Structures are given as C-alpha cells and as structure tokens.
Chains A and B, each alone.
Chain A
C-alpha cells in the first residue's frame, strides 16, 4: 500500500508570508496527526484528527496556525504569517483506528525554512 504522502517536501519563504502543507494519509487510516520536529529533537504533536474532527489541538498555536481535514481524508496545515522560529520539519502521520496502541505511520515531512 502507498505510504503517507506530503507536499511540498521543501519550502523556503520570507517571514510574514503564508505557507500551507498538504498530507494524504494511508487509505483507510482514520486518525491523522500533524507533528513539528525541530532540528535535533523528537516530533511534537500539533493536532490530531479522528476522521474530520480535531480531537486534540491543544499544542497548536492558534494565532497563526490552522488545520483542516474537510472530508476526513486529506489534510492541510497552514501558517499565516510565518515567523523565523517556525523553521522546522512538519510531519504528517496516520493510524488505522483511534486506540492509543495503534502504530503511527509517518510521511516524509515538509522542511520549512523561514528567512
């Protein structure tokens, strides 16, 4: 089966510009996660969706970040406006169900550089 698809893979923007990332999870995987990974650190959860519902967005900086998963499949994560500190890798992951023991499968990530 195809893995998690993310685009773009790389993005360079100037600060204060908007940027959007797209994720297509593995078919049939109902739970979708967006993680932020800073250099030399482990991923940190930004938001978790069960189908189209955001069930945990407590770590999402809502003043500039937004996310949607309108039909419970693809998802987009947006930053507006971007700041220098947003430079990081944004990882999308998915799991089949909603149980805590479900293995999460990660996409290749979008590497963002804000200048």
Chain B
C-alpha cells in the first residue's frame, strides 16, 4: 500500500529565510504533484513532476523529484508572507489516477 509522508508538518519561519519541505513515498512512482491550499480554500496545483531528476521552479518555490530515493523536495527561497499556506504532495497509486496525499505541511511566514 502506497504511503506518502511529509515533514515537517508545521513550519514557522521568518521572512527572507530559506527552507525545504520533504515528501517521501513508499512505492515506485515516476511522477509527483505539489498542491497549495489556503485556509478554507481548495487545492491549487503548483507543480507536476513527471520524471526522475525533474526540477521545476515558480517564483520562490522550487520542486524536485528523485524517484530512486522516492523523495521530492519543495524548496522555499527568501520566504514572504504570501507563501503562508498548507502544501501537499501527492503520488499516483499505480495507473489508476488515484492520488495518495501526504498529511500536508503548514507553512507560516512571519514578518
């Protein structure tokens, strides 16, 4: 059974600092998704990583995928308050399209 684990689950950081969120998964997959969720809102797709070594960047966020290590990272550079949200990684279960989500990492960026 596929399990997806994120850490940390909660992250409080100062503006301007860098940090990394980790997403580990238990069975083979060559693709991974990152979503953002603001309080009371739905999930917004951030990145789709489709192969080993894939790296994608959008603004202050950069995501990477290592399929051999079954690990994805979401790196935050020079955090700003607007990045405060909960970030989820998700991995497809087999070829079904069913996504297995991590528990989410709640990021709080303090001025």
Q: State which size class the interface on B falls in.
A: 20 to 34
Which residues of the other chain, A, contact B103 by a CB distance below 8 angstroms? 40-42
CB distance from A88 to the nearest CB of B (A): 14
Which residues of the other chain, B, contact A111 by a CB distance below 8 angstroms? 40
Given A95-B97, A108-B42 in contact, is the A103-B92 Cβ separation under 8 Å? no
Report the nearest B residue to A107, measured CB to CB: B42
Given A43-B43, A91-B42, A107-B42 in contact, is the A100-B101 Cβ separation under 8 Å? no
Which residues of the other chain, A, contact B96 by a CB distance below 8 angstroms? 48, 55-56, 100
Report the nearest A residue to B88, measured CB to CB: A42
Q: Are A48 and B98 touching (Cβ within 8 A)?
A: yes
Given A56-B96, A108-B41 in contact, is the A100-B31 Cβ separation under 8 Å? yes
Q: Are B43 and A98 touching (Cβ within 8 A)?
A: no
Q: Are A100 and B48 touching (Cβ within 8 A)?
A: no
| Interface bits A48-67 vs B (CB < 8 Å: 1, else 0) | 10000001100000000000
A104 contacts the other chain (CB 8 A) = yes
Q: Given A41-B103, A105-B45, A106-B42, 4 other A-B contacts at CB below 8 A?
A: A33-B97, A42-B103, A93-B43, A101-B31
Q: Which residues of A come within 8 Å of B, CB atoms?
A: 4, 31, 33, 40-45, 48, 55-56, 91, 93, 95, 98-109, 111
